[in-house]
Amino acid sequence: MTPPSVRLFASREAYNGRQPGDPAKAAAALLHVASLSEPPLRLLLGSDSYAAAEKSALDKMESDKHWKDVSLSTDDSSDETHV
């Protein structure tokens, strides 16, 4: 059986040079953002990064919604400011 580290390296090598991003465009975006007076706290570069971050955020939101009742049940009962 091939060790996970070897499989990961092989996967990276197969992906290298085939990423959807353009390094020159990424550099231009970074320079633009660096020049802003209020740059973003996070910057997703590339459609693959954006898609992964969006999926992660939606998965978290769905999980949070699923457990909303339990989350809200821990509020102080004298506090009537539930959302």
9 pLDDT more than 90: no
User: Looking at residue 6, what is its pLDDT?
Assistant: 72
Q: What is the pLDDT of residues 12-68, one digit of tens each?
A: 777 677 777 889 999 999 999 999 999 999 999 999 899 999 999 999 999 999 999
8 pLDDT more than 70: no
C-alpha 68: how far from chain center: 22
Cα–Cα–Cα angle for 60, 64, 67, rounded to 5 degrees: 145
What span, in angstroms and rounded, lies between the C-alpha atoms of 28 and 19?
Answer: 17
User: Looking at residue 19, what is its pLDDT?
Assistant: 73
